[in-house]
């Protein structure tokens, strides 16, 4: 039976990316060694990092005055590393979910943190609007896609202060204007690679402005100066990231990804909106293209376990909603084919015929 992988992360990767990585695990570029056992200092690994950076720059249109680095620790380490490097007195945060709240919590250890707006009172079902960004903030932080709640900021906003974005779960899903941002960071385990590598895109002129001592490993400049090779980088995930970037380019780039992602999301959202039994949880104007969250209507709540079993038997994987929201979540990242979304839609329709 074919499996349809809707996991929120670590999540689906293109099949050819998995196959190319598997080949490198057995024999990296004919060297007679696995990529798992080569030195990151070896002459044949440096081109992997260089090409991955070059493709990121090409696909995202990253200007020369920005650095691209590959780190460990996940986006959660960036919640601390970012204010360590950028927060001198005050930072502003938009609170749109669990990850935004966690980022804000870490920043409070380095200076004043202003919450410009929050949708917490509505269980994060929408993206706040018409908020005011303090002009004296060192930076303004947003989380562009909220995996748990299924909301997304899909436009590059204008900010009077350096704009920082956690794009862990929607990077490479659409074209974006990198020049609107001072820092873009994210864990790779959604649209780029397996867990273990974190990307940071940073405009060079925002560094060197804090008065505190920054520990060597937590200093962005350390990793920029050493080309992501100050210490042993996550070799395998970087290699997989390179394969994904090659795949993205071959598929037609980010404009094509956005086109496909819109089509997938519209297919599933239309099924939910026209359903007698299911309803979406996020405000329609803020719905995510990456994480589609829905629940059973009140009168059918007792059928939740039945639908999970029904869908699982038909090959659906990873559709259980986060415990703080309940219901169901279908993560429709770049590598998920529209055929898988159609299979889930068919599940919804079949289940409804049996129970509605």
246 is catalytic: no
Distance CA 128, CA 122 (A): 11
Catalytic-labelled residue, pool 138, 170, 190, 264: 190
Q: Catalytic annotation on 99?
A: yes
Helices 46-60 and 253-273 pack at an angle, to 10 degrees, of 70
Q: One of 138, 166, 170, 286 is an active-site residue; which one?
A: 166
166 is catalytic: yes
DSSP run (H or E) holding 266? helix 253-273
Of the chain, the end-to-end C-alpha distance in Å amounts to 27
Buried b (16+ CB within 10 A) or exposed e, 179-213: eebbbbbbbbbbbbbbebbbbbbbbeebbeebeee
φ, ψ (nearest 5 deg) of residue 91: -130, 150
Q: How buried is 340 (Cβ within 10 angstroms: 0-12 exposed, 13-18 middle, 19+ buried)?
A: buried
Q: Which residues are catalytic?
A: 99, 166, 190
């Amino acid at each position: 039976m074919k499996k349809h992988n809707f996991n929120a992360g670590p999540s689906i990767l293109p099949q050819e990316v998995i196959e190319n990585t598997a080949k490198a695990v057995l024999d990296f570029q004919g060297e007679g060694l696995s990529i798992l056992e080569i030195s990151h200092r070896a002459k044949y690994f440096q081109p992997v990092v260089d090409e991955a950076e070059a493709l990121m720059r090409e696909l995202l249109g990253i200007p020369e005055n920005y650095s691209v680095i590959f780190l460990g620790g996940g986006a959660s380490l960036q919640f601390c590393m970012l204010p360590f490097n950028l927060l001198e007195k005050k930072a502003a945060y938009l609170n749109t979910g669990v990850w935004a709240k966690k980022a804000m919590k870490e920043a409070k250890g380095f200076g004043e943190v202003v919450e410009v707006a929050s949708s917490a009172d509505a269980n994060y079902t929408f993206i706040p609007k018409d908020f005011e960004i303090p002009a004296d903030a060192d930076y303004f932080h947003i989380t562009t896609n909220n995996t748990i709640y299924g909301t997304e900021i899909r436009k590059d906003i204008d900010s009077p202060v350096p704009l920082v974005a956690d794009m862990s779960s929607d990077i490479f899903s659409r074209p974006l204007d990198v020049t609107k941002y001072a820092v873009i960071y994210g864990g790779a385990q959604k649209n780029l690679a397996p867990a273990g590598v974190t990307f940071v895109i940073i405009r060079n002129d925002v560094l060197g402005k804090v008065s505190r001592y920054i520990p060597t490993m937590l200093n962005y400049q350390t990793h920029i100066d050493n080309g992501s090779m100050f210490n042993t980088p996550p070799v395998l995930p970087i290699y997989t990231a390179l394969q994904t970037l090659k795949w993205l380019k071959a598929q037609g780039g980010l404009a094509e990804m956005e086109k496909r992602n819109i089509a997938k999301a519209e297919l599933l959202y239309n099924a939910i909106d026209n359903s007698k039994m299911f309803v979406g949880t996020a405000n329609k104007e803020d719905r995510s293209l990456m994480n589609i969250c829905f629940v059973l209507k009140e009168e059918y709540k007792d059928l939740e376990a039945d639908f999970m079993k029904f869908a699982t038997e038909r090959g659906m994987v990873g559709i259980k909603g986060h415990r703080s929201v309940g219901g169901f979540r279908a993560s429709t990242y770049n590598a998920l084919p529209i055929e898988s979304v159609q299979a889930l839609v068919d599940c919804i329709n079949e289940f409804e015929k049996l129970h509605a």
